[in-house]
Amino acid sequence: MNQHERQIQEITRRHFLGQCRTGIGAAALAMLCQQGASADSLLRAPHVLAKAKRIIYLHMAGSPPQQDLFDYKPVLNKWNGEPCPDEMFAKERFAFIKGHPKILASPHQFGQFGESGTWVSQLLPHFQTIVDDVTVVNSMFTDQFNHAPAQLLLHTGSPRFGRPSMGSWLSYGLGTENSDLPAFVVLVSGEKTPDAGKSVWGSGFLPTVHQGVQCRTTGEPVLYVTDPPGMTRDVRRRSLDALRDLNEEMYTADQDPETLTRISQYELAYRMQVSVPEVMDISKEPQHMLDMYGAKPGETRFANNCLLARRLVEQGVRMVQLFDWGWDIHGTGPGNDLITHLPEKCRLADQPIAALVKDLKQRGLLDDTIVVFSGEFGRTAMNEERDGSKFLGRDHHPGCFSIWVAGGGFKRGATVGETDDLGYRVTETPVHVHDLQATLLHQLGIDHERLTYRFQGRDFRLTDVHGRVVPELIA
Amino acid sequence: MLIAALAGSLIGAASIRAQEPVHYARDVARILSNNCFTCHGPDEKERKAGLRLDRFEGATAPARSGAAAIVPGDPDGSPLIARILSHDLDERMPPESKGGALPPESIALLRSWIAQGAKYERHWAFEAPVRPEVPAVPAYADRIRNPIDAFVFARLEAEGLAPNEEAEKGVWLRRASLDLTGLPPSHDALRAFLDDDSPEAYEKAADAMLASPHYGERWAQMWLDLARYADTKGYEKDDPRTVWPYRDWVIRAFNDDMPYDAFTRDQLAGDLLPGATLDQQLATAFHRNTMTNDEGGTDDEEFRTAAIVDRVNTTMQTWMGMTMACAQCHTHKYDPLTHREYYEFAAFFNQTEDGDYNPERPLLKVPTTEQQQELDATRDRLREVRKALTDAVDPAGDRTKAEELVWGPWYETGPLAAEDFDAAFDRDFGPEAQVDLAARYLDGAAYWKGRSDFENGKVLAIEGENSAFYFYRTVESPRLAAIELSIGSDDALKVWWNGELRIDEKSHRGVAADQNLLLAAARPGVNTLLVKVVNGEAGGGVYFNLRDADFPPALAALLEVPESDRTDEQRTSIETYQQSRNEAAELNQKVAKLEAAIPEVPVMRELPEDQRRPDYIFEKGSFLNRGEDVSAGVPSVFNAWPEDAPRNRLGLADWLVSEDNPLTARVMMNRVWERFFGHGIVATLEDFGTQGDWPTHQELLDWLATEYMAQGWHLKPMLKMIVLSETYRQSSVSTPEKLEHDPFNVHYARGPRFRLPAEAVRDQALFVSGLLSEKMSGPPVMPPQPDGVWQIVYSNERWVESKGEDKYRRGLYTYWRRSSPYPSMVAFDAATRDVCTARRMRTNTPLQALVALNDPVYVEAAQALARRAVDEAGVSTRDRAQWIFEAALSREPTERELDALIDLYRSEFDHYRENAEDAVVMASNPLGPLPEEASPHTMAAWTVVSNVVMNTDEFLSKR
């Protein structure tokens, strides 16, 4: 076992390590504490001054069109329906557009809101009320134009499978603040998991203890957290007591410290059986809170997940990752077009998102909690018109897109970065996906170049060999 | 604020004391490369002061200043040390901008190294292993069973550690059985072994386990992680891929103890072997386990090159324990692998036909044994039937083709209504005696009309209840020919051929093709066909087609003989011919169906010479940036290319398994060692390069590697030697002293003890409960999985729980979906198989506890174990508790352990007696209803006890 492996084992051992009830368990804890690191995280102190402790990432899977929500481009109206300039398609690789595409203006109105005068689409009336707590970034870009690779790049720093996701890195680097809950929780709505599957919250080569734990709003909140049918909590308690007796007997015989860890992990599991369902139960929230989010207990909906995100970070979860599927606005039919579908998606997402930011703020959590809203890439300024479709829609576009960040030491009421008149390429303050990652880690007290993990003989990090902290975003 | 994230290591550089030999490659290179090489390394452009420190010549030659940086043997006289120690910040190396002062341990190492002569030796792993002498260890002479022990005990003696006593027999058997077969010993095997006092007992047991088919299943798991085997293609759609025949090939290869050189050749280049067998071609699926991206709008070339990169990394990783991934974008920072060499290596894999296509190609049909047997039998029968055809009728002579027949137009008359169905069928309305197209029937109400809309092969609708319809046409033939007509009708049917009634079918039916077949002789010239359809109630219809005309003339001659005049022999010939023909048609269909069901597996196939792709460097690793051209080759730091070897994958395989290759045998032996002892002799299984860990027992590793090759690359003898060694037989009991001296057991003063791999955790639970299916091979199965785990975009794939014994198959047969692997397996650190995985982590988490406590699979196993105990053990509580414990753990419980179980049983017995409904559920959901005579609260209480035993640390571990 090399030094690295030892350390991983140590971190793993302590990752969830809580209090043991009696005798040998307490001795185990004491012994483990003597053995090595004294905290359950890799970083015993931050690399840089941490502004934030936790992060909520709202991923609109499929990628909403920036021209219709945040990046106001009146010039598009002038050219609407005209063939786009050659340079916009000649050397580009598109997923679906064929031939010479035509410019597509946004069919939705824009206005300026808040003291900051931030431009926002009419589709987001609630977002209009929180703009002064938010930094809109119109100059994001990526290098992937297919969903799965782009989502992987966004969450793992690489377009290929096999790398740890940002939440796993945070769990590995910062550990958890609540040993009764996982450090990294994932909530999914829109009926489907993201295109890249569970790898976008996978732990890659990091120990599996760091992978995102998907909490579900129907069925068991965490897989296997419920006792088997016919077993009461009392039976479970008595059986775990017997199990502890057997394990202690084993420890007396073999004296393997791992046995002590096993004892404590079973005790933690027992506590999680209570703590997880409790935090996941939104029915105890007051009615006005449910109304504020538009949440309905017992359903799988994005609004519920926003409320849960607040409950989870309140309980010390390090990262809450929300995926809402259904933002892939191609315009091949009314189910994914700009006129019918996008307003419907916005209607379902706008209110809970604004509620989340307001709720965090009123609880004083927004100062050290980052909220990010993004898709995985942008969408074209041209109408896709796949197979001559009459529905309006936009193809995938890696060259620019809009996101917003709030809280956690980011600027409030700012709009950063610019694109050209047609909203096609970044002209000012380009922010690559790796730059965003570097900046998020920075706010959490981590130097993205120094949170590394050796695998297959190479030191890996979230931002691969790229990324820079973007000072323009930071307050 | 700077934080040292990594603490010192017990076996790393920090433990090297001043007097011990310091190795450049092990101890020094890392310090110099991390701190000095940026300005004083291989890169001429960046070099400062004319000094390079990566070579002896550079470090000891006068630099621009006139002095040499290093004076071998004299650290105090070496400017290098003086500059490192300098308090003057302008003088001190490395400068603040490059990291600042070195830590004292590093400086101490540099000093010792210079004092010892500043030798720049090559990295140990790049030199071929030399068979070391087996040391004599007189102190433990009586305990040394084979050379493994000699190497290990010699080190123990040097470390001042004493080996543990041998583990109890039963403990060894469970340990070895889990290691060799992935399953604990059966009750009978344990008894037999404990009763066998002969000196050969251990060897006999080892041989039996190595001969078990479960051996292949267990060791295939190791290989499938490397091969990144999965049942789906990865990326967004992650659609199913049929590649399980490859998984079964791996299992067979291990069970057959296929030598590793052949195993290597077949997988890397089976298709290139002369006269490649089906199995050899199948083996090449190893490198078709790369992911393919079927997402809409993706660039196939992008993902083809991603697969090539994966093949390069996987090949190097699997056979040589080297990571090449760094060199994809730039020359490796630490290991002597250049950017160019990466693409020379990649060129071996750039010439295969596959290319991220959907559907995948090329594919190889790989029938299962049963499929092949059935196919062979069907084809044999087909041959017999064809022979019967020719025997019945002389096959010679001019056959008639369908297009030589000239069909006249259809005429129809009808409906000709009658009082009822029978009357309509029996009555001749006129045309039956003689067709006259000018005639009128039913007092002139019906007459012949042209029906050009009555097309061959299509149903024509007719209307009229209890009515007859006549259809008439002519056909002209160039010669005497046999023809076969296909006719269908709704409802009844009569057919006259050349005026002779040939079909008389009184039935009520819907119309379809081929309801009646008529084999008839068409004379030269005009022939007549009259069809009568009688419809009963509602609408009706008629169908007509020419089925075949391709018959031997001899058959036509036979048919031309009026039926009443035919001899028995003629009649038999016609019947035999017809029957054989029908059977042949059926057999042909069956062959087609069988062939369609044969799994088609993606395999490697080389492009033809004229379609070869250009090989070039990807600048910065991107396939869009074409750099210089390259041709296939291997990195120069390793063994030379074998003479006469072809410059293709086959030559590459030969190079890998050459006896001169420094790594192949070592890497495999190290990997195997890790499975037995929990960590490798080189702890970094995935990195034997300069950044990897130094071997703890290099001589042992080299001995194993050379022995492996001497054994003809057979694995079984090596595994047998390991399990029979005294090193392996030691008890795993630890002591505070041993923990203090060697917390991770790198010196092996005690036996291995660590958690079982994911598959074994599952397999063992099913095995001890008696649920495990021993069925081997075949398509992947879907054991119970919670609803909603699979929710996949753009895919209709569903998890459909397997039925019967397929619910209880070994873990390696579980459907492996890359984007959503089986949750309970993931909890126990199974790899996702996205990429080659040399080593799995071993974590210890509460999520594992939740799986083993609550997953219905494990609850069901507890229920089954409880039922077995009540069935098979005595009636006393004590007997049953003891039986459960022994069944699960292969040893007798201590009194305290037994008491804990008995106490638990009693409390739960009382609880469930009070809670009858819960008792039934606890004992039977999901396993199924209890036997009638069983008491629910007894069974529920034993289920709880079994669940506890199957969650003990001991059960989840190998000890």
pLDDT in tens, A90-138: 777 788 888 889 999 999 999 999 999 999 999 999 999 999 999 999 9
Domain that holds residue A56: 41-218+299-473
Whether chain A has a CB inside 8 Å of the CB on B954: the answer is yes
* DSSP secondary structure code for residue A165 in this structure: P
Q: How far apart are CA A393 and CA A328, in angstroms?
A: 9
Q: Which domain CATH number covers A343?
A: 3.40.720.10
Distance, CA of B73 to chain centre:
56
Assess if residue A348 is contained within a domain.
yes
Pick from A207, A231, A255: CB nearest B841: A207
Tens of pLDDT along B278-300?
999 999 999 999 999 888 778 88
Structure tokens at B93: 């190396």
- Residue B223 to residue A391: CA distance in whole angstroms: 50
pLDDT above 90 coverage of chain B, percent: 75
pLDDT at A28: 36
pLDDT at A295 over 80: yes
Average pLDDT for B222-246: 93
**B12, pLDDT greater than 50:** no
Q: With contacts defined as CB-CB under 8 Å, which chain B residues touch A247?
A: 952-954
Residue B8's pLDDT is 30
- Residue by residue, DSSP assigns A290-346 as HHHHT--TTS--HHHHHHHHHHHHHTT-SEEEEEEE------SSGGG-TTTHHHHHH
Burial class (CB in 10 A: 0-12, 13-18, 19+), B933: exposed
Residue of A nearest to B853 (CA): A227
Contact check, Cβ <8 Å, B922/A228: yes
Nearest to A254 among B291, B298, B732 (CB): B732
Burial of B590 (0-12, 13-18, 19+ CB in 10 A): middle
Does B921 sit within 8 Å of A229, measured CB to CB? Answer: yes
Q: ipTM of the predicted structure?
A: 0.82
Q: Under a CB-based contact definition with an 8 Å cutoff, are residues B646 and B356 in contact?
A: no
Residue B797 contacts A where some CB pair is shorter than 8 Å: no
What is the model's pLDDT at position B750?
Answer: 97
Q: What is the mean pLDDT of residues B779-803?
A: 84
Q: Is A286 within a domain?
A: no
Q: A38 touching B, CB under 8 A? A: no
Interchain contact B901–A (C-beta under 8 A): yes
Which chain A residue has its CA at the smallest distance from B903's CA? Answer: A242
What 8-state DSSP symbol labels residue B660?
A: T
Number of separate domains in chain A:
1
**Going edge to edge, which strands form the sheet with B459-462?**
B459-462, B540-548, B481-490, B516-522
Average pLDDT of the residues in B390-407:
88
pLDDT at B926 over 90: yes
Residue A279 lies in a domain: no
A2, A261, A454 member nearest B844 (Cβ): A261
Task: Give the CA distances from residue B227 to residues A163, A348, B282, B316, B838, in Å, rounded to whole numbers and listed in that order.
Answer: 18, 44, 14, 12, 10
Q: Which of A161, A171, A193, A241 to mutate to test the interface with B (most CBs of B within 10 A)?
A: A161
Whether A165 and chain B come into contact, CB under 8 Å, resolves to: no
Of B944, B954, B957, the CB nearest to A235: B944
Distance CA B953, CA B866 (A): 20
Checking if the pLDDT of A40 tops 60, the result is no
CB-based contact B686 A456, cutoff 8 Å: yes
CA distance B337 to B677: 31
Peptide bond into B395 cis (omega under 30): no
Contacts of A250 in chain B (CB under 8 A): 952-954
- Number of Cβ within 10 Å of residue B584's Cβ equals 18
pLDDT at residue B429, rounded to an integer = 94
3-state helix, strand, coil in chain B (%, to 5): 45, 10, 45
CB contact under 8 Å between B793 and A258, yes or no, is no
Does some domain include residue A260? no
SS3 at position B435: coil
Nearest CA in chain A to B333: A458
B:229-248 residues touching chain A, CB 8 A cutoff: 234-236, 238
- The residue of B693, B832, B859, B863 whose CB has the most chain A CBs within 10 angstroms, and thus the best one to mutate to test that interface, is B832
Asked whether residue A101 is domain-assigned, the answer is yes
pLDDT at B657 > cutoff 90: yes
Q: Would you state the structure tokens that stand for residue A49, as one six-digit string?
A: 């001054």
**pLDDT band, residue A19 (cuts 50/70/90):** very low
Do B785 and B851 touch, CB atoms closer than 8 A?
no
* Structural domains present in chain B: 13-121 (no CATH), 259-361+601-659 (no CATH), 402-551 (2.60.120), 854-958 (no CATH)
| Alpha carbon of A41: minimum distance to chain B alpha carbons (Å) | 10
Summarize the confidence of residues A18-27 as an average pLDDT.
34
- Of the candidates A265, A450, A457, the beta carbon closest to that of B849 is on A265
User: Is pLDDT at A434 greater than 90 in this prediction?
Assistant: yes
- Chain A residues 403-462 with a CB less than 8 Å from chain B: 450, 454-458
From chain B residues 327-386, the ones with a CB under 8 A of any chain A CB are 329, 335
Question: Is the preceding omega at residue B491 within 30 degrees of 0, hence cis?
Answer: yes
Q: Residue B790: left (phi > 0), alpha (psi -120 to 50), or beta?
A: beta
Find out whether A317 and A185 touch, Cβ atoms under 8 Å.
yes
Cβ contacts of B862 within 8 Å, gap of 6 or more? B769, B943, B944, B946, B947, B950
**Closest-CA residue of chain B to A243:** B948
The confidence band for A31, taking pLDDT boundaries of 50, 70 and 90, is very low
Residue B389 confidence (pLDDT) above 80: yes
Chain B residues in contact with A196 (beta carbon < 8 A): 235-236, 819
CB nearest to B841's CB, from A208, A245, A263: A208
Q: Is the Cβ–Cβ distance between A145 and A97 less than 8 Å?
A: no
pTM of this structure: 0.81
Residues of A in contact with B940 (CB under 8 A): 230
State the pLDDT confidence band at B792, using cuts at 50, 70 and 90: low
CB within 8 Å: A456 and B951: no
Chain A nearest C-alpha distance from B299 (Å): 8
Do residue B786 and residue A220 have CB atoms under 8 angstroms apart? yes
**Mean of the per-residue pLDDT values of chain B:** 92
Task: Choose the most confident range, by mean pLDDT, from A93-107, B76-90, B513-527, B649-663.
Answer: B649-663
- Residues of B with CB below 8 A from A245's CB? 896-897, 900
Mapping DSSP onto H, E and C, the string for B733-757 reads CCCHHHHHHCCCCCCCCCCCCEECC
**Letter for the amino acid at B755?**
R
On the CB side of B890, CA atoms within 13 Å amount to 31
Mark yes or no for CB contact B900/A202 under 8 Å: no
A96 at B interface, C-beta within 8 A: yes
3-state secondary structure labels for all residues of B768-819: HCCCCCCCCCCCCECCCCCCCCCCCCCCCCCCCCCCHHHHHCCHHHECCCCC
Name the residue facing A3 among B12, B329, B335 (closest C-beta): B12
Model confidence band, residue A401 (pLDDT cutoffs 50, 70, 90): very high
Q: Is the pLDDT of residue A6 over 70?
A: no
pLDDT, position B3:
26
Which residues make Cβ contacts (< 8 Å) with residue A76, sequence separation at least 6?
Answer: A67, A103, A104, A105, A106, A381, A422, A423
Q: Is A118 helix (H, G, I), strand (E, B) or coil?
A: strand
Where is mean pLDDT largest: B17-21, B50-54, B651-655?
Answer: B651-655
B:712-741 residues touching chain A, CB 8 A cutoff = 732-736, 739
Contacts of B312 (CB under 8 A, 6+ apart): B324, B328, B342, B345, B346, B349
Burial grade of B428 (CB within 10 A; 0-12, 13-18, 19 or more): exposed
Are A239 and B908 a contacting pair at CB < 8 A? yes
Ramachandran bin of B786, using left for φ above 0, alpha for ψ from -120 to 50, beta for the remaining angles: beta
In a 13 Å sphere around the CA of B699, the CA atoms on its Cβ side amount to: 13
A225 and B850 in contact by Cβ < 8 A?
yes
Highest mean pLDDT among B6-10, B11-15, B883-887: B883-887
* Spatial contact of B488 and B514, defined as CB atoms under 8 Å apart: yes
Identify any residues that bridge with B493 across adjacent strands, giving them in sequence order.
B505, B533
**Tokens of residue B640, six digits:** 């030379």
Average pLDDT over residues A433-441: 97
Mean pLDDT of chain A: 87
* DSSP one-letter code for A99: S
